Structure 1
Amino acid sequence: MTNQTWNAVDNYIVANLIADDPVLDGVLARNAEEGLPAIDVSPAQGKLLNLLVRMAGAKRVLEIGTLGAYSTIWMARALPAGGRAVTLEFSPHHAEVARANIESAGLGDVIEVRVGAALDTLPGLAADGAGPFDFIFIDADKPNNPGYIDWALKLSRPGTVIVCDNVIRNGVVVDEGSTDANVRGARAAFEILGRDPRVAATSMQTVGSKGYDGFILAVVG
């Protein structure tokens, strides 16, 4: 199998299962114009997040790592009337682009963007009584996964779904001697969620237009 095959299959999935969406296409176009890195989830992955939010019956979503709000919009569209999403973004420029994208999607009254290092803004969420959240998506800098997961658990309830992205790292996650901070952060996610008795978790390897990676899917008991 090659990346060319993975891309072709991803294109097939999108062509058959995901409707054309000028709004989301515009989000990706604006992100590129504004110089944001092209590291958004793929359309197939965005649809998966949308379906997971719906399956969980989530009314409150927390996202750690906004970028240009492509994944945020996918999740927020799955919320019922009165649902809310909070997304945390380190970069003021990325947050500005994200807010413009959110407005273009008609979700300005559903999604709140908080700016700053997530480990600084997460305590504010707790202080504001924003939780507990029903669905939490962790997709930020990987070395800080331990802190993000700790806060995700603090801001969860029994039944909360937690998804932690980019944990397979092209297969290098199995290298216990790796000095790569991203790999170490991925391994920490496995270790923390795997040993917490409150959590039931599994992980899926993925291939596609984003290459070879994967995510952890967990439910808080």
Structure 2
Amino acid sequence: MDTLDMWSRVDQYITEKLIPQDTVLEQVLSANRQAGLPPYDVSAAQGKLLQLVVRMQNAKRILEIGTLGGYSTIWMARVLPADGRLVTLELDPRHAEVAQANVSLAGVEGIVEIRVGDALEQLAKLKEEGAAPFDLIFIDADKPNNPEYLKWALRFSRPGTIIIGDNVIRGGEIMNEASTDPRVHGVREFYSLLEQEARISATAIQTVGSKGYDGFVLGVVNG
């Protein structure tokens, strides 16, 4: 058995033991595949982790940078209160269309707002609109722009806001200073900003599973 197969089987075991079967989420993943979306959704275990963080934070306002088909969006939105709000940003209109259908299927369309267009432009618009701080911000979009997303996340934060960044290990490529991959450069700069930024206390966790070898950053904005 190769390593990835073992990781995938363990992921399946965790899912079977700890995550009840969910027909809606299965339909969401199926809709994403049928629409030809890239297979970048978080795993079920990772989706449940995001959901638990939302609950632990008692979050009412969430900002998600990178929607794809809305799988992670739904995991988080489901545990928001009735007056909660999740704003999610998606560049690709086709992805946003699929996500909107999935959000409606999950019955959280009254909580989720999908904004379509360049994320940096959408973030600037939110600032112009006077958007209130968010309780949790999930960064899971194009990695070259991760440093800019972090800067915006801090602008939309308050003391205690949780900021999570996904795909920050890149199969270990973050150790390769000579990498020519702009995604790796973006993530490395993301780390450098976190290192220098006094407003946030953060750590990173390496993960393995059905999605391969990667990881996430978890930070809390200081008071």
Give the TM-score normalised by structure 2: 0.97
Opposite residue 100 of structure 2, the aligned amino acid is R
Opposite residue 10 of structure 1, the aligned amino acid is D
1:84-106 deviation digits (Å, cap 9, x = unpaired)? 10000000000000000000000
**Number of residue equivalences:** 221
Contact 2:161 / 2:220 at 8 angstroms: preserved in 1? Answer: yes
Residue ranges of structure 2 left out of the alignment (5+ in a row): none
Equivalent residues in 2 for 1:10-159, closer than 5 Å: 10-159=11-160
- 1:16 deviates by 0.2
Other structure's SS at 1:3 match: helix
- 1:146 deviates by 1.1
Opposite residue 138 of structure 2, the aligned amino acid is F
The aligned counterpart of 1:204 is 205
Give the TM-score normalised by structure 1: 0.98
The aligned counterpart of 2:214 is 213
- 1:113 deviates by 0.1
Contact 2:147 / 2:187 at 8 angstroms: preserved in 1? Answer: no
Other structure's SS at 2:5 match: helix
Percentage identity across paired residues of the two chains:
60
Other structure's SS at 2:96 match: helix
d(CA) in 1 for partners of 2:39 and 2:180? 25
The aligned counterpart of 2:172 is 171
Opposite residue 121 of structure 1, the aligned amino acid is Q
Which stretches of structure 1, 4 residues or longer, exceed 6 Å deviation after superposition?
none
d(CA) in 2 for partners of 1:114 and 1:161? 21
- 1:175 deviates by 1.3
Contact 2:28 / 2:102 at 8 angstroms: preserved in 1? Answer: yes
d(CA) in 2 for partners of 1:131 and 1:27? 30
d(CA) in 2 for partners of 1:177 and 1:200? 28
Opposite residue 51 of structure 2, the aligned amino acid is N
- 1:129 deviates by 2.2
Opposite residue 110 of structure 1, the aligned amino acid is I
d(CA) in 2 for partners of 1:216 and 1:50? 16
